[in-house]
Amino acid sequence: MAPVTDLPSNNVRDLSDVPSVEVISKAAIMLLSSAAERLGLADEDPEHSPRRDLDEARRLITALAGLVTASAEYLGPHAGPLREGLQSVQRAFREASAYPDEPGQGPGEKYTGPVY
C-alpha cells in the first residue's frame, strides 16, 4: 500500500479556487444531512432510531437556518432547494417533538419565521 504522501496532488483543490457558492452549499448540505440523521430520518423507524437526538438536531437546524438566510442572496438557483430542505427538517423536528415549540420558537425560526 502506497503511503499517503504518494497520492497525486491533482485530487486536492486549493480552497481559494473553490467558488463561495460551492463552499456555502456544501456546508449547508452537511448541516442538512446531519440534522436529518439526528432526527432519525435515515432509519426505517425514526422514532426508535439510535441516532435520534433532538437537542443536537435543534442546534444543526438553527445553524443551517442562519447560514441559508444570511447567504440566500449569493446562492442563486441553489437558494430555493436549500430553503426547502431547511423547511423539511424544521417540520420534521416539530413532528418529532413530544411538546412542539410555539410557532416562531422552533429551531431556526428566529431566522426563517414560523414554519408550520
Whether residue 6 is contained in a domain is answered as no
Whether residue 2 is contained in a domain is answered as no
Question: What is the distance between the alpha carbons of residues 61 and 114, in angstroms, rounded to a whole number?
Answer: 14
The model carries a pTM of: 0.86
Q: What is the pLDDT of residues 14-40, one digit of tens each?
A: 888 999 999 999 999 999 999 999 999
Domain that holds residue 69: 18-42+49-109
Residues of the chain scoring pLDDT < 50: none
Domain count, the chain: 1
Three-class SS state of 114: coil
Q: What is the pLDDT of residue 33?
A: 98
Whether residue 53 is contained in a domain is answered as yes
